[in-house]
């Protein structure tokens, strides 16, 4: 279900990217290519794994998972926040 709508990051989502270790490109790619699932409060989410093979906060991780939470509106998709998991 690749969206043809414009995708916009909220101010909160954009400000959290650096703290959580994700790039805007990774988030957009996740929304465009990963399966969407229902999330809390009527929102949607998806998950995409990326090869990481690096250190994050003093620990070595092979994989980084980017999980955007977003709302599909009539004219655009608004990313509310982004979670990032390392394993």
Statement: residue 3 has pLDDT above 70: no
C-alpha–C-alpha distance, residues 77 and 10, integer Å:
10
Residue 14: how many CB atoms within 10 A of its CB? 14
* The two three-digit tokens of residue 29, written as one number: 């790619």
pLDDT tens, position by position, 50-83: 999 999 999 999 999 999 999 999 999 999 999 9
Statement: residue 4 has pLDDT above 90: no
C-alpha–C-alpha distance, residues 71 and 44, integer Å:
6
pLDDT tens, position by position, 18-58: 999 999 999 999 999 999 999 999 999 999 999 999 999 99
Q: Which domains does the chain have, with CATH numbers?
A: 6-86 (3.30.2310)
Provide the whole-model pTM: 0.91
Contacts of 73 (CB under 8 A, 6+ apart): none
Is the separation of the CB atoms in 70 and 43 below 8 Å? yes
């Amino acid at each position: 279900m690749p969206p043809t709508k414009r995708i916009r990051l909220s101010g909160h989502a954009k400000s959290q990217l650096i703290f959580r270790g994700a790039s805007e490109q990774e988030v957009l790619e996740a929304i465009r290519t990963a399966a969407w699932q229902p999330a809390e409060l009527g929102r949607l989410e998806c998950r995409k794994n990326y090869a990481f093979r690096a250190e994050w906060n003093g620990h070595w991780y092979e994989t980084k998972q980017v999980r955007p939470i977003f709302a599909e509106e009539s004219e655009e998709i608004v990313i509310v926040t982004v979670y990032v998991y390392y394993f």
